[in-house]
Structure 1
Amino acid sequence: MRRLVISALALLIVLAACGQSQATPSHGLVLGAIYPLSGPQAAGGKEELAGVRAALAVAQSSGALKTPVQLDVVDATTPQAAAAAVDHLVRDDHVPAILGTYGSTLSAAASARAEELKTVYWETGAVADPITAQRRYVFRTVATGSALGRMAVDFTDQVLQPFYKLQAPRVVVIRVDDVYGRSVGGGEETLASGLGISVVDVIEYDPHAYDAAVIASRVAADHPDFLWDVSYLDDGVAIWQALLRRNVALKAAVGTSSAFCMPDFSKRLGADAVGVYAADKPDSDISDAALSPAGLALLQQARSAYARANSGAAMSIPAVAGFVGGWTLFQNVRPRG
């Protein structure tokens, strides 16, 4: 099945590239890329794009990429801008495929527009489940939001609950009220129900208009043992600070988004970040023992290429996601015949 999908993808790109060659005659291929390079999601967007660029460098230097490829990059910070970027890339620049988008709300809009235009959309980081649902032209190389939510529940069930010797733990879910929050939080609720973990409250909030103190007070009134938090970086920090000021007695909290794994989370909170676990995609510190020899060799190439282009920086979670997505695509791009 995987070979069939990849072969179909390669055919889609080759056929579309034939159309591109009529508009921009060259021996290379131009692919679109849409990421938030400014605004509140800029840090992750830049890192994910840098991971894609590292994958392109490795694919070119190793010979895995048989066709010269350039990226036509567009900065998009809102769903409307992301959809407009797809229109621009397809109609004006005639790209046969687009990579993106880091953020689920951006990807939901961009991928939907790409599907309408019958253009391959290659999602390298956004996790919201509906992005790929019933889509023929949209592909994704990272875990779904519901899978990340289930990771938090499994960690609670297999590690936290036995450690605290709780028979019936009480859990509160805080989640951002958008396609991302609903995907992750929905996965948490579904699995928790099957495991007999009681979700006593689900607190949804608008990331653009919320009161962290009110959220903290509601959590305190629920008297939970554990908290599962699906937030972005700014609101995640603000909510955790409000919980600490309110002296909410939690045994542990699990953040189910990359925000809780970002260095900025611990930098902003310092010692106050202690007690917050994170369930998300891996960064480049994944155990060597978990990889095949070929996988380990590729990871080492990825680390080197990323470090060379980014002042020696290690690969973050978004960077690894970008590399994996880029590598999976670039090694299957075929030259126009």
Structure 2
Amino acid sequence: MVPEISVIGAGGWGTTLGNLLATKGFLVKIWSFEQETVDNINNFHENKQFLPSIHLSSNLVAFSKFEEVIPNAEILVFAVPSSHVRKIAEQISPFFKNDQKYKLVSVSKGLEYTTFKLMSEVLREVLPSNVKVAALSGPNLSSEVAHMQPTATVIASIHEEILPELVDLFHTEYFKPYAITDERGIEICGAVKNITAIAVGFCDGLNLGNNSKGSIMTLGLHEMNRIGKHFGCTRGTFFGIAGIGDLIATCSSKLSRNHFYGEEIARGKTLDQISDEMHGMVAEGVWAAESIYQFAQENGIDLPLTTQVYKVLHEGKLMEKAIKDLLALI
């Protein structure tokens, strides 16, 4: 029996995954907050704002109301920015049926600022108990996946029994998922690597060279591991696809929103200028730096890289001073 599938969030990554499933022959419903995006997907089979130049399958149909996409969807992809996860989860919660089982794959990355909970924890707290949550993360730049370039990813869940179906669902000739149970681990990787990518963007914006970037990426990997140890994660996760694999891809690519953000900050642009250039797309590392910095302060975790990125982004610290202080600390 063919499952009904819905995607919550029509940003670049949500649209890419929805289109991946649609091109496999599934009818996929996708919810968007922006009516313009709904109209573009349905009328022109494209998402001009978040995934330009990609022709979308006619099996991908957009909606603006939760009641049109939630109740009958056996499988959902949850693809909203981390800062909106709790709010959107609370809004969709009433539309789940009591007598149906659901599988929800979260691709949102970060820690909730007020509670320091991972996205899977927020979703389980808010959604009904008949919704089983998994997380998907890896070196998955949406534009490359949308252009069907070879990509690996990881799907993780504490509900081990749902993983084989999800791996099979997302598997294509160019997109290969692997299943693990360290759900917390891949979520931490997905949050921390974005902070590191912003720092590498700083280096590029200041023309500091590859030696500096290599050192920054190594430090970012260490900080992933330190936070993961606090959460009881499997160490091997940080040296796998969702850890070092995603770290390298996000820090190295000009397609990375977080790298772009750091680079533009280093070149003297304001937050508003960068936001306009990103056309509504979100650099998750900006908010991850704030939440992870506060979490580390409260729990006595030494994160020198995260600390300096946070101070540049949220306290207005001069970047040259932050780099000098970072070098003195490591």
Question: Which structure has the larger Rg over C-alpha atoms?
Answer: 1
Instruction: Point out which structure has higher relative CO (alpha carbons under 8 A, 6+ apart).
Output: 1
**What TM-score, normalized to structure 2?**
0.29
**What TM-score, normalized to structure 1?**
0.28
